[in-house]
Structure 1
Amino acid sequence: MALTATGIGSGLDISTIVKVLVDAEKIPKEAMFNKTEDAIKAKVSAVGTLKSELTKFQDALAKLQDGNTLNQRKVSTGDSDFFTATTTKSAKSGSYSIQVEQLAKAHKVGGAFATDAQQTVGAGRLDFTVGAEAFGVDIEAGDDLNAIANKINNATDNPGMTATVITSDGGSRLVFSSDVEGTESQISVNVTDTTGTGLSDMFNGTNLSELQPAENSIVYIDGQKVTSQTNTVAGAISGVSLDLTKADINQTSTLSITLDNEAVKENIKGFVDSYNALMTSIDKLSSYDADTKKASALQGDSIIRSLESQLRGIVSDRVDVNGETTALYEIGISTDRYGKLTIDNSKLDDIIANDMDKIEGLFATETSGLANQLDDLAENYVKTGGLIDDRNKTYTKQTSRLDDQREAFSLKMEQLEARLYKQFNTMDLIVAQLNQQSAGLYDRLNSLPGVVPQ
């Protein structure tokens, strides 16, 4: 620890002298450390911004990567209470009359009533058939209704049946319900008693009641009858799935399907806007201001130069669509001199209305479609272990090394300060001793005979 009172012997301000000497070496180095730290932080922030923009770009691309999301349809059911409808890209524009006669129902059967759910039934085995599949459970003498239900529901080979204990005014009973609707999933029960007749008395023959018969759904499409095992009717209209919700044969609803041109255009416009935002961000992160002579954090950085080059290469490339190649400019999207995309609305509207296959092929062709190529490129940067992740690990290592250098330099400065204090204090002591010797000599000289004090 440095002395707090120094310079007594020499009259020098040693603390100030030491501070000036130490600062002369410390301040420039600390400024360099701070500059390096600021540069690393700026780069970390910059690649974070780049990652965020790439993720937004991927969100826009997701709407173009698949034909079903790109080639959208408008579906109108006239606010019908009887069904809802979903479509795929294969659905053709048209109008259909829909009448729902009957909803599909799951088969339900119930055993005889017991006094309560804790009543035991007897030992044996229950074998079930659900449609074409079978399974069974062994029942022990101590099993009550709840235990039997749990064994059935937890059976690994249960193909789709649920057992429930229902307690009503009549008592408690086990109810078996098929998990799916339709006549092909009816339930049958076969009972084997090993002790007494308890299981047979509850589930065999007339002791097993049908609570809800299995029924198929029935719907008429333009007057043509369609029967389905479930309340989902798929394939009756190409590319259309109907989910039936209510039945009344006397009520007619209208299903209308049209190409949603506006949604398609909005998704393509979203892609263009997101691409331009990404390129603007890249320009900003890698720019150099000649007036201020200040470079952005990633100016000249290979990670951003490579990304920009690959992006421009992909959007200017041609894609093979059914043996013919096509490019963005053929659907009304061109690149300006700044590398940004612009839309010719008239040309794009015409292509959407008359040649959606070209748009779908250009963007959504598996692997080679522009949206898929661009998403693969972006994913290579943003994924865990990707290029941005690797770059951040590099910055973390640089920060760690900088911290080590700061710590080592701080120790060096402490040692320099201690050494200087030691040297100056030694000098101060010598000067004090010399002053003391000089004063003593002066006093002795003045005491000699014949010397007249001055």
Structure 2
Amino acid sequence: MSMNISSSNSSNLQTAASLLQQLNTISNPAGTGLPVSQYVQDLQEILQQELEAPIQNQISTLQSQQNAYSALQSALQTFQQATETLASLQSWSTTSASSTNSSVATVSVSPGANVGTYNIQVSQLAQAEMQVQTANMQTSATGTSSLAAGTLSIQPTHLNNGQAVQISISSGESLQDIANAVNQYTQQTGVAASVVSNGQGGYFLALSSIQTGSNYGFQVTDTVGGGSGGQFGFQVLSNAQDAEIVLGSPSGTSSSGSSGTTVTLTSSTNTFQNMIPGLTINAISTGSTTLSVVENTSGAKSAVTTWMNAYNTLVDTLRQDTEYTAPSSGATNGSSPTVGPLFGDPLAQSMVSELASQAMQTVSAVNSQMNSLASIGIVLDPSNGHLEFQSPSGFSSAVGTLPDGQQMFDQALTNNLSDVEQLFGVVNTTASQAIPTSGVLGNLYNYINVLLEGNPNGTGQSPISTAVQSLSQQQSTLQNYLNTVQQQIQQRVQQYEAQLNQLNEVMAQMQAQMQQLSAMFGQSSNKPTG
């Protein structure tokens, strides 16, 4: 009997020892049992990789698309502004002007100026009226004066219908108070007063018109008490006068063909604007000079080039957003191609082709010899979609040469400027920007305006704004779903952690029981058998 018990005890001891050995071989830096924190971390990483990562990737893709559309919207607005600038006649000034004596007069040119030469004699410059006090100077600007009670009467030449303004002066009133009283009526008289120091301790009143020109002249009457005498002794330093230039006919002849004809022009300022159409003359000093207006197409060419560059920047933005780049020949198997954020997007893809179509289409109701950009030397480079002046060698290795685009454009500006302006759809305005309604600019402007603002009849929303809003809504929906998934992952991880902790507790109890059994059977095996 005892032999049977001993045999059973031996088997149990071997089983207990085996279990203890298995528990003790589990890698757990915190001690015996399962490494709960490591297992929990591993599970969380797996769940995040499998459940969170795909959603986050979708959100990231949508955000990239939204950013691309925002950048595209900005590029469209920039090109639209460039189109408005080129549509203004101001950008197409093909003349320049110069003065042989810039110390006498300078000149600038605007659209509408005719080529020619103008002899200018500046006979007088514009002046403001100024009168100063010469009697009873005071020792203080703001202190009590030695002046008696009286009246200042200021009568403008043209303002206030020539009616005088009466200003009362109190006995002992300071010069500054008198100046303040005069300035209360500046709107009616056009006269401003100030107190001036002579640098030797004396102060006096100075009256001056607020603008140059004969219309701002005035007279001052100074009386004391009820008498006719004055106490300020106002003296005229400068009379109000207009600027005056004597203009010789263009090229030295009058419109009737007789030589020596002159015209006198006056201005209330030293600037004579559009008195000669398209010219602004600034008189500097009296004397003579010659103004020359000559043909110069560099300004128009520069404006068109700037517009072409804005178009090319827009095209580069679109192509970058929609491009597809295949893996290189040396890439490893399984490598992915590179795609832009808007690759495959219908709206963006259509814009690539539509912009080119709008830019290069034939314009009706214009000179049939100049009814497209290509007809004046501007073409599309098929390799990048850029607007460029046609190269004599073309864009391929084709045999033969083509007309030089820059020469074609220069000749068109020189010989057929009005036709070129009509082709582009230039608006006759003095403003720096204009909204084109015809020509190449009008077609492109209308197309871009629909993209940015929607249909011109007010129906529908901007396709760009609609796309941005849709992408934003999709991101919001996915983010809400991601928040739910993250909560579920957290709950599952917490449950898993609780289960592992319970398992470790059971294993610890088993280990303790096995140690007790081992100790008990060990003591039994030491007793003598009967």
Bucket of the pairwise TM-score, normalised by the shorter protein: 0.7 to 0.9
Measure, in 2, the Cα distance between the counterparts of 1:414 and 1:197. Answer: 101
* Stretches of structure 1 lacking an aligned partner (at least 5 in a row): none
In the TM superposition, what whole-angstrom CA distance separates every residue of 1:305-350 from its partner, at most 9, and x where no partner exists?
464455335422626569x994433433344556443432232122
1:304-315 map, 5 Å: 304-305=348-349, 307-308=351-352, 311-315=355-359
In the TM superposition, what whole-angstrom CA distance separates every residue of 1:271-326 from its partner, at most 9, and x where no partner exists?
2233223213211111122444332012233553464455335422626569x994
> 1:351, 1:359 within 8 Å by CA — same for their partners in 2?
yes
Residues 345 and 190 of structure 1: CA distance in aligned 2, closer, same or farther (over 3 Å): same
1:313-332 map, 5 Å: 313-315=357-359, 316=361, 318=363, 326-332=371-377
Instruction: Determine if the alignment matches structure 1 residue 367 to structure 2 residue 436.
Output: yes
Measure, in 1, the Cα distance between the counterparts of 2:228 and 2:508. Answer: 114
Partner of 1:162: 192
Instruction: Determine if the alignment matches structure 1 residue 208 to structure 2 residue 244.
Output: no
1:181 alignment partner AA: T
Q: CA deviation at 1:72?
A: 3.6
* Aligned partner (choices 81, 90, 107) of residue 85 of structure 1: 107
1:341 alignment partner AA: L
User: Identity percentage over the alignment?
Assistant: 22
Instruction: Determine if the alignment matches structure 1 residue 107 to structure 2 residue 129.
Output: yes
Residues 143 and 303 of structure 1: CA distance in aligned 2, closer, same or farther (over 3 Å): farther
Partner SS state of residue 220, structure 1: strand
Partner of 2:174: 144
1:163-312 map, 5 Å: 163-168=193-198, 169=200, 171-189=202-220, 196=225, 201-202=230-231, 207-222=233-248, 224-229=262-267, 230-248=269-287, 252-291=288-327, 292-301=336-345, 304-305=348-349, 307-308=351-352, 311-312=355-356
Instruction: Determine if the alignment matches structure 1 residue 356 to structure 2 residue 448.
Output: no
Q: CA deviation at 1:238?
A: 2.3
> 1:182, 1:228 within 8 Å by CA — same for their partners in 2?
no
Measure, in 2, the Cα distance between the counterparts of 1:294 and 1:406. Answer: 27
Residues 420 and 259 of structure 1: CA distance in aligned 2, closer, same or farther (over 3 Å): same
Instruction: Determine if the alignment matches structure 1 residue 420 to structure 2 residue 496.
Output: yes
Partner of 1:19: 41
* Aligned partner (choices 131, 141, 164) of residue 117 of structure 1: 141
> 2:52, 2:486 within 8 Å by CA — same for their partners in 1?
no
In the TM superposition, what whole-angstrom CA distance separates every residue of 1:112-133 from its partner, at most 9, and x where no partner exists?
5431322456576755425333
> 2:59, 2:479 within 8 Å by CA — same for their partners in 1?
no
Measure, in 2, the Cα distance between the counterparts of 1:415 and 1:356. Answer: 76
Q: Normalising by the residue count of structure 2, what TM-score does the alignment of the two structures yield? A: 0.69
Q: CA deviation at 1:37?
A: 4.9
Residues 422 and 287 of structure 1: CA distance in aligned 2, closer, same or farther (over 3 Å): same
Q: CA deviation at 1:435?
A: 4.0
In the TM superposition, what whole-angstrom CA distance separates every residue of 1:234-273 from its partner, at most 9, and x where no partner exists?
344222121100113xxx3221111211222222223223
Higher relative strand content: 1
Residues 284 and 166 of structure 1: CA distance in aligned 2, closer, same or farther (over 3 Å): same
* Aligned partner (choices 133, 153, 159) of residue 132 of structure 1: 159
* Stretches of structure 2 lacking an aligned partner (at least 5 in a row): 1-27, 249-259, 328-335, 390-404, 428-434, 454-460
> 1:77, 1:256 within 8 Å by CA — same for their partners in 2?
yes
1:39 alignment partner AA: T
Partner SS state of residue 87, structure 2: coil
Aligned CA RMSD, in angstroms, stands at: 4.2
> 1:111, 1:202 within 8 Å by CA — same for their partners in 2?
no
Instruction: Report how many residues are paired.
Output: 438
Name the stretch that deviates more: 76-85 or 392-401. Answer: 392-401
Residues 210 and 124 of structure 1: CA distance in aligned 2, closer, same or farther (over 3 Å): closer
2:236 alignment partner AA: E
Residues 29 and 148 of structure 1: CA distance in aligned 2, closer, same or farther (over 3 Å): farther
In the TM superposition, what whole-angstrom CA distance separates every residue of 1:8-43 from its partner, at most 9, and x where no partner exists?
4xx333333222222221223343354245424533
Q: CA deviation at 1:416?
A: 2.9
* Aligned partner (choices 507, 516, 528) of residue 431 of structure 1: 507
Name the stretch that deviates more: 352-361 or 238-247. Answer: 352-361
Residues 202 and 29 of structure 1: CA distance in aligned 2, closer, same or farther (over 3 Å): farther
2:324 alignment partner AA: Y
Partner of 1:341: 387
> 2:122, 2:283 within 8 Å by CA — same for their partners in 1?
yes
Measure, in 1, the Cα distance between the counterparts of 2:522 and 2:152. Answer: 131
1:217 alignment partner AA: A
Q: CA deviation at 1:352?
A: 0.4
In the TM superposition, what whole-angstrom CA distance separates every residue of 1:73-130 from its partner, at most 9, and x where no partner exists?
2112135210011222111111122222221211112345431322456576755425
Name the stretch that deviates more: 370-379 or 289-298. Answer: 370-379
Partner SS state of residue 90, structure 1: coil
Measure, in 2, the Cα distance between the counterparts of 1:199 and 1:421. Answer: 111
Q: Normalising by the residue count of structure 1, what TM-score does the alignment of the two structures yield? A: 0.78
Residues 226 and 388 of structure 1: CA distance in aligned 2, closer, same or farther (over 3 Å): farther
Residues 363 and 197 of structure 1: CA distance in aligned 2, closer, same or farther (over 3 Å): farther
Measure, in 1, the Cα distance between the counterparts of 2:408 and 2:110. Answer: 25
In the TM superposition, what whole-angstrom CA distance separates every residue of 1:340-385 from its partner, at most 9, and x where no partner exists?
43432232122101121222332422531444664676677789x9
2:279 alignment partner AA: V
2:49 alignment partner AA: I
Partner SS state of residue 64, structure 1: helix
- The structure number with the bigger radius of gyration is 2
> 1:149, 1:163 within 8 Å by CA — same for their partners in 2?
yes
Partner SS state of residue 297, structure 1: coil
Partner SS state of residue 76, structure 1: strand
